[in-house]
Structure 1
């Protein structure tokens, strides 16, 4: 799950063109969610809601559209090619600051899924000073400055992330960005020993897979979006804490490269790390306090300027529509 090259520049160029409400979608069109990768467990609650009939029960016609590394989700959202898109909170904050008509309305995960994978001899991330670390473009514009400040890393340690384990496997000094529910599975399957440090556990505040809506969709399809989020929260409850087989079957049908074994691993991992929140938490909900922590970290890292418009990048108005809670 990575940012398309040049997304920050694209956002800047789009600000003037989409300073209004964005491009509206045709009346009667399906409500379309654009994900940030090929179908996988990290999207499972949405596929569960689709496959188990939760969306249909809510009177919704929903289209789940897969993203990927070459898909610029923000550009497609602003162009009216989808109603909602899975992005990261940094992008919502920057959208607010730039006056782009895109607003975070919910978050899939209460914490980020990214972390640092190291070889077994590394028992604390601070031991990585001077070691090569493979980091994606998205990571460089989000958590990398925070890691540098916290652990004393330098930019010459950052090497391009290549979406495979080979550079890590064959360099005993290297570490790499990884997702707790993805690359760790690949390492286990290849019998590669490792340690993993979830950034959220290290103190990095973020959300994971935030749902952004276009302002045009908020103006014309607000009730549908509220119903979609309510059904999606129930879908995630089923997928992680119930029988998620409907969602798994839908994911496997959509993504020929996915396996049942990986889905089972990822679902168990998301449950283990309490990705949907702690016991009793409202699934998909957000808070002002968490957004303020994210903004503060971006500001201290020098990734944004102090612009009060950042708050325009999210709304808590849909929290009341969310019906599912993490089981106690």
Structure 2
């Protein structure tokens, strides 16, 4: 199945290349801005760059590493990159404030946020943590929804940091992180932990590739070629994650080879082992669900139309 899909994609890319890219012409640079330092939840983008995907269609993918000072939505909206990645809830909020950005592909079926706590057999549900201290992104949409939906209003909140020492020294602390990395880091530091993932709690914000309305309107062939190349990048990574390990571990010292391997296994098993033909598809129902959750905590106005925040036509074979 994978070989047939790869062959079909190669044929599609070749057709795009012969139709829209003159032989011998320099490929058009396509800058893709990441929202954090290089790590496996971005892997398909780095894989597409490493494999030079899209050249036959006349594009040259150049991935740009993110970090704490990178804000992908305003930077892409202002033309500093052609594409960026973001969480779908952040994209909805930005769109509602007038940012001319739109999701074109979902590389993560859900952002792997999790709430990690000191393991305790008495903890059976998130409600059992309501008297703890939560280290989270203060004011973030997901946290406001969790706090409201699960009645955690009495919980003390502090800004999240990467300091595991705070967590180690406070048995009543709950810390936000990614399920791909934080529990493994804590276990590696000798801490016994449990977790509640945001997806298991019912908050499933896509991780998305986005661009501007203008790009979709004025350069649709480039957008489609980019989406096709990136889909293949994710498939290549899922088929052989070890091929990207040297690049990502060299770029990000916090991702050890062992952590790269364990997070890649989790990512592939939980999110990428879906129907490869539909990889990247977005559901209008899922966007409605997320928008309703944001409205429930007054993050979105009632009249906002979530359909303006995504274009589901750019990944072939997707229904709504």
- Please classify the TM superposition score into its range, dividing by the shorter chain length: 0.7 to 0.9
Do the aligned partners of 2:27 and 2:59 also contact (CA within 8 Å) in 1? no
Deviates more, 1:104-113 or 1:50-59: 50-59
For residue 277 of structure 1, report the CA deviation from its aligned partner.
Answer: 6.1
Match in the other structure for 1:195: 194
CA distance in 1, matches of 2:250, 2:292: 41
Aligned pairs, number: 291
Do the aligned partners of 1:133 and 1:174 also contact (CA within 8 Å) in 2? yes
Please give the TM-score of this superposition, normalised by the length of structure 2.
Answer: 0.84
Q: Please, which runs of 5 or more residues in structure 2 have no aligned partner?
A: 1-25
Do the aligned partners of 2:35 and 2:71 also contact (CA within 8 Å) in 1? no
Q: Please, which runs of 5 or more residues in structure 1 have no aligned partner?
A: 1-26, 323-328
CA distance in 1, matches of 2:38, 2:72: 15
Do the aligned partners of 2:249 and 2:256 also contact (CA within 8 Å) in 1? yes
CA distance in 1, matches of 2:27, 2:218: 11
Give CA-to-partner distance per residue, 1:248-285, whole Å, 9 cap, x none. Answer: 2332343355322221111011123x223644661111
Instruction: Write out aligned runs for 1:287-298 (5 A).
Output: 287-298=283-294
Match in the other structure for 2:231: 233
Task: State the structure with more CA Rg.
Answer: 2
Instruction: Write out aligned runs for 1:23-102 (5 A).
Output: 30-102=29-101
Match in the other structure for 2:15: none
CA distance in 1, matches of 2:115, 2:249: 28
CA distance in 2, matches of 1:156, 1:127: 11
Do the aligned partners of 1:45 and 1:247 also contact (CA within 8 Å) in 2? no
CA distance in 1, matches of 2:168, 2:97: 41
The structure-2 alpha-carbon separation of the partners of 1:257 and 1:201, relative to structure 1 and needing over 3 Å to count, comes to closer
CA distance in 2, matches of 1:117, 1:228: 36
Please give the TM-score of this superposition, normalised by the length of structure 1.
Answer: 0.82
Deviates more, 1:174-183 or 1:48-57: 48-57
CA distance in 2, matches of 1:151, 1:286: 27
Match in the other structure for 2:209: 211
Matched, 1:111 2:110: yes
Instruction: Write out aligned runs for 1:1-328 (5 A).
Output: 30-121=29-120, 122-137=123-138, 140-154=139-153, 157-208=156-207, 210-240=208-238, 242-272=239-269, 274-276=270-272, 278-279=274-275, 282-320=278-316
Give CA-to-partner distance per residue, 1:172-200, whole Å, 9 cap, x none. Answer: 11111121111122112112110011110
Do the aligned partners of 1:119 and 1:175 also contact (CA within 8 Å) in 2? yes
Q: C-alpha root-mean-square deviation of aligned residues, in Å?
A: 2.1
CA distance in 2, matches of 1:180, 1:54: 29
Do the aligned partners of 1:39 and 1:255 also contact (CA within 8 Å) in 2? yes
CA distance in 1, matches of 2:273, 2:198: 16
